[in-house]
Amino acid sequence: MNILIVASLSGKIKNGYEAEINTARDGLKKVNALMLDTNRSSQERNRLNEHASRLRDFILYHELTERLLLQFKMIAGDIYDEIDTIKDAQDRAVDVYVKFLPIEKMSGSVAGSTNIPLGEDGDAYTSNYGLHTVSTQIVAGNDALSLLAHEFGHIKYQVPNIATYRTFYVKYYQVKSRDSESIGHHHMDPSGQKAFEFERRFRLQHDDFLKIGNNKFERPVTLIKIISKDLQ
């Protein structure tokens, strides 16, 4: 019982696709089995193909997120651990859900975003994943890991300071700013300052990592091609 209690108090970086991945995999198996029926009309087969394509994309980006999170941890384990153990102002653990996704699924003109619970009060962070959670989304381009470091910086500041940061956000962004790219990066924004600090830290560690032996990783675009081939 004590072990279970301790585990439940520990916030973690989590794959944002994880909760639905088994459903997606089971669904793809069923669709593939239905496709074996040669008596289906072309219209039915088209619908099944479209459904299978959506399921494969979901599985692909789940696997991509797994691999990129592992890469990040290997390159900058200290930054990863800071977010993996992050707590709010009341010392409550907060889970950070990460999704890498195609650019067409990002809202606005940004390449990375982290939710801000403006409709709430107090020190608790919330997202679509529930109470004491954060949701961050990153475009799966070749600078994806640097973008993730940047968003981790926002999270590092916002989680323990969300009560006061809401006031700053409303004053400088919700009222004054219409440019989605400027949100979070006002020259007086402590969250933006922390984001750029984390990004710089990651880039330095990334460069150092590549200097050691034969250390290198496949770029996200290449990983997408590799995973897609495995799913065919």
> Is the pLDDT at 69 greater than 50, yes or no?
yes
Q: Is the pLDDT of residue 177 over 60?
A: no
User: Residue 79 falls within a domain, yes or no?
Assistant: yes
Compute the distance between CA of residue 88 and CA of residue 90 in angstroms, rounded to an integer.
Answer: 5
Supply the pLDDT for residue 184. Answer: 75
The reply to whether 200 falls in a domain is yes
Element (H, E) at 14: strand 13-15
Average pLDDT, stretch 36-41? 89
Instruction: Tell me the three state secondary structure of residue 112.
Output: strand
Label residue 3 by pLDDT band (50, 70, 90). very low
Give the count of domains, the chain: 1
Query: Is residue 3, in this structure, part of any structural domain at all?
Result: no
φ and ψ of 100, to 5 deg: -95, 140
pLDDT for residue 117:
95
Task: Please say whether the beta carbons of 221 and 139 come within 8 A.
Answer: no
What mean pLDDT is predicted for residues 142-161? Answer: 97
The Cα–Cα gap between 155 and 207 comes to 23
User: Distance between CA 76 and CA 198 in Å, rounded?
Assistant: 10
126 occurs within a structural domain: yes
210, part of any domain: yes
Is residue 223 domain-resident? yes
As a whole number, mean pLDDT of residues 70-98 equals 97
b/e for 146-162, b at 16 or more Cβ within 10 A?
bbbbbbbbbbbbbbbbb
Provide mean pLDDT across the span 95-124: 92
* CA–CA dist 13, 87 (Å, integer): 12
Name which residue leads in pLDDT, 188 or 126.
126
Provide Rg for the chain, Cα atoms: 20
Residue 2 lies in a domain: no
What gap in Å lies between CA 136 and CA 99, rounded to an integer? 6
pLDDT score, position 9? 44
Asked if pLDDT for residue 8 goes beyond 60, the answer is no
The confidence band for 10, taking pLDDT boundaries of 50, 70 and 90, is low
Confidence of residue 176 (pLDDT cuts 50, 70, 90): low
Question: How much is the pTM?
Answer: 0.90
Tell me the residue range of the domain where 95 lies: 13-231
Distances (CA, A) of 222 to 142, 219, 228: 9, 5, 10
Alpha helices, H only, the chain? 2-8, 18-35, 42-75, 77-84, 144-169, 190-211, 220-231
Mean pLDDT across the chain: 90
First to last CA, the chain: 44
DSSP of 66-90: HHHHHHHHHH-HHHHHHHHT-B-TT
Query: What is the percent of the chain with per-residue pLDDT over 70, rounded to a whole number?
Result: 92
Using the predicted structure, report yes or no on whether residue 103 has a pLDDT greater than 70: yes
pLDDT band of residue 131 (cuts 50, 70, 90) is very high
Tell me which of 30 and 119 has the higher pLDDT.
Answer: 30
User: Which pLDDT score, from 0 to 100, does residue 180 have?
Assistant: 56
Whether 6 is covered by a domain: the verdict is no
**Residue 88 confidence class, pLDDT cut points 50, 70, 90:** very high
Higher pLDDT, 137 or 181: 137
